[in-house]
Amino acid sequence: MFTDFEYIIIDGASDDESVETINKYSNNVNYWLSEPDTGIYNAMNKGINKAKGVYCLFLNSGDTLISPETLFNVFMEIKGLTADIFYSDRVNSNGKIKQYPNILTIDYLVSSPINHQNSLIKRSLFLENGFYNENLKISSDWEFFLNGLWKYKYIFHHINTHISVFDIHGIGTKPSKERFIEDMSVFHNVFQELSSTIIEYREIKKTIYYNILKNNYDTKFLTFLLRVYRKIFKFGKQIISFFRVPKENKFSI
């Protein structure tokens, strides 16, 4: 029987029967806590602080492991492999499977984030480069993965073993104004030397600089290119404005 893992439960002072359920299975729980928190990332950071293992796997309320043998199957697959983050395809609670590429790129991760419920993340990454950003309530795990690939050059490894069933009714699964605002904040935080908003990024995608942005990790060079792009874009707008006839000067019949 595979036992090389620990169960850590961080409960946000739930007023349902969560504590009673935890107490019922407390002999199998390594550590648990029930107290008010400021959001899921605050709870996840508490769990990181209490964890002792090499890798962390975060499941939110409503998420479940694929089967009782999941952790054994995962560790049998990654045995002997080296990676900062192992990730699998996402199995949704409606039965659909979201397939992820074997090689993650910034371009892919910007438009289609992977999720922490199917990722084994080295605990040392949090200790070395910072925990989840608690100023964000929905998109902090996306920011963590983007920073990991773009800034810290973490090694991501795609595995075949499905890890968990992802609850598609969670807080971060539906578009919302709050989600959009947070996504813009994430983009600025990660790529602040390149772009200030997602809108500008979309504009860049229409230019020749996009292919360089997608494939080049030299941020100083990319910063220079973005400045050139901005100057050209600004100059172009000035030319258009110069030749545009003001409304008050237009002839009318």
Q: 66 in helix, strand or coil?
A: coil
Per-position pLDDT tens, the chain of length 253:
788 999 999 999 988 889 999 999 999 999 999 999 999 999 999 999 999 999 999 999 889 999 999 999 999 999 999 999 999 999 999 999 999 999 998 878 887 889 999 999 999 999 999 999 999 999 999 999 999 998 899 999 999 999 999 998 876 666 677 887 888 788 778 877 655 445 555 555 665 555 655 555 455 666 666 666 666 656 555 544 544 544 444 433 3
* Predicted pLDDT of residue 252: 34
φ, ψ for residue 165, nearest 5 deg? -100, 120
Residue type at position 113? P
* Cβ–Cβ under 8 Å, residues 90 and 166: yes
H/E stretch holding 158: strand 156-158
CA dihedral angle for residue 199, residue 205, residue 211, residue 215, rounded to 10 degrees: 30
Residue type at position 136? L
What DSSP designation does 8 have?
E
Return the closest-CA partner of residue 119 out of 28, 203, 58.
58
* Cβ–Cβ under 8 Å, residues 57 and 163: yes
| 3-state helix/strand/coil string of 96-116 | CEECCCCCCCHHHHHHCCCCH
Q: How far is CA 202 from the centre of its chain?
A: 19
Degrees, nearest 5: CA angle 100-106-108? 35
Residue type at position 243? F
| 3-state helix/strand/coil string of 112-169 | CCCCHHHEEEEHHHHHHHCCCCCCCCCCHHHHHHHHHHHCCCCCEEECCCCCEEECCC
What is d(CA 194, CA 207) in angstroms, rounded to the nearest whole number?
A: 14
* Predicted pLDDT of residue 182: 85
Residue type at position 203? E
